[in-house]
């Protein structure tokens, strides 16, 4: 009996293509174990000023699975968000950011690190307490961190969001709106939130300087930011022409493959010496 069942099972796997749903489930299953298996790590990508000097870096998560190789965050981050796994990753990411900040400081690189915080991570009731505790554990001031949040955070519960952002601001943490202009763009919240920076999405950056609509959008973001007293960083800068346009129009810093690929902190430090 067992033998024939086994045969059936083999026939089943050989005979049918894995459906998309099954593939998703196995990927999610592997992702759920990734953190405990030590398969996650953070890489950093420079943000440079007009002189090309690093004035910051964004931390980006990477997942290397032994069977799958590198899995793109474009695939696993949305999956982690939908399944709720992203909540478990939250404190680890912030602790990693603190460790990297301390490592950089030991090598005389004293710029802030930008950390992506998704709405689900931010909305957990213990968020402010945990961030406070992690900073205290590393004896690190919040001014070393910039939290990148998306416009989705401002859809519900704006009062509570503002209250939390204010508490985190009191620790020195700054806030940047990631992918700015791609979300629910009620600009009304801009004046109510304790913000430091807007981050121009790479889909707009890709369109400059050739495309009239792209240029209009980027120009508007830059002038609006100036009126609100916000810094602007552009993501996805790949060409000199994009960089020239952004700098000429008052963009404070630039991030993209033109300057550096995301790399491990060790590789970053090795490049310094």
Q: How far is the CB of 27 from ligand C2E (least distance, A)?
A: 15
Q: Residue 138: phi, psi to the nearest 5? A: -90, 0
**Residue 197 binding ligand C2E, by CB under 6 A:** no
Q: Which two tokens stand for residue 270?
A: 């090795």
Q: How far is the CB of 115 from Mg ion (least distance, A)?
A: 9
Please, which residue, 190 or 254, has the CB nearer to ligand C2E?
A: 254
**Residue 30 binding Mg ion, by CB under 5 A:** no
Per CB under 5 A, the list member of 30, 151, 235, 252 interacting with Mg ion is 235
Choose one: 22-30, 70-78, 187-195, 243-251; the region binding ligand C2E (CB under 6 A): 70-78
Per CB under 6 A, the list member of 112, 181, 262, 265 interacting with ligand C2E is 262
96-115: contacts with ligand C2E (CB under 6 A) = none
Residue nearest to ligand C2E according to CB distances in the complex: 256
Provide the mask over 167-196, with x wherever binding to ligand C2E is found by CB under 6 A and - wherever it is not: -----------xx-----------------
Please give the size of the binding site for ligand C2E, defined by CB under 6 A.
22
Please give the size of the binding site for Mg ion, defined by CB under 5 A.
6
125-154: contacts with ligand C2E (CB under 6 A) = 148
Could you give the C-alpha distances from 72 to 68, 165, 263, in angstroms and in order?
A: 11, 29, 14
**Residue 249 binding ligand C2E, by CB under 6 A:** no
The answer to whether 162 and 192 are in contact (CB under 8 A) is yes
Please, which residue, 180 or 268, has the CB nearer to Mg ion?
A: 180
Report cis status (omega within 30 of 0) of the bond before 266.
no
Strands 231-234 and 253-254: parallel
Please, which residue, 116 or 253, has the CB nearer to ligand C2E?
A: 116
Per CB under 6 A, the list member of 56, 119, 142, 256 interacting with ligand C2E is 256
Provide the binding-site residues for ligand C2E, judged by CB under 6 A. 45, 60-61, 72-74, 77, 86, 93, 116, 118, 148, 178-179, 202, 235-238, 256-257, 262
């Amino acid at each position: 009996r067992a033998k024939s069942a086994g045969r059936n099972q083999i026939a089943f796997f050989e005979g049918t293509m894995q459906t998309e749903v099954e593939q998703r489930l196995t990927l999610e299953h592997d992702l759920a174990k990734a953190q405990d298996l030590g398969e996650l790590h953070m890489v950093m990508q420079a943000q440079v000023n007009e002189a090309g000097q690093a004035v910051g870096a964004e931390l980006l998560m990477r997942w290397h699975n032994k069977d799958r190789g590198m899995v793109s965050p474009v695939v696993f981050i949305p999956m982690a968000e939908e399944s709720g796994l992203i909540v478990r990753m939250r404190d680890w990411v912030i602790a990693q950011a603190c460790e990297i900040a301390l490592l950089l400081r030991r090598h005389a690189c004293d710029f802030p690190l930008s950390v992506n915080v998704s709405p689900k991570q931010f909305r957990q009731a213990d968020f402010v307490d945990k961030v406070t505790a992690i900073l205290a554990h590393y004896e690190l001031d919040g001014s070393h961190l910039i939290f990148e949040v998306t416009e989705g955070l401002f859809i519900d519960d704006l009062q509570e969001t503002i209250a939390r952002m204010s508490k985190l601001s009191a620790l020195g943490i700054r806030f940047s709106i990631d992918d700015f202009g791609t979300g629910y763009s009620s600009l009304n919240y801009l004046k109510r939130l304790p913000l430091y920076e807007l981050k121009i999405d790479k889909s707009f950056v890709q369109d400059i300087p050739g495309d009239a609509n792209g240029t209009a959008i980027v120009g508007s973001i830059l002038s609006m930011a100036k009126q609100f007293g916000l810094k602007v960083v552009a993501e996805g800068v790949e060409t000199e022409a994009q960089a020239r346009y952004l700098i000429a129009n008052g963009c404070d810093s630039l991030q993209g493959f033109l300057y550096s690929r995301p790399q491990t902190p060790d590789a970053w430090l090795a490049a310094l010496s």
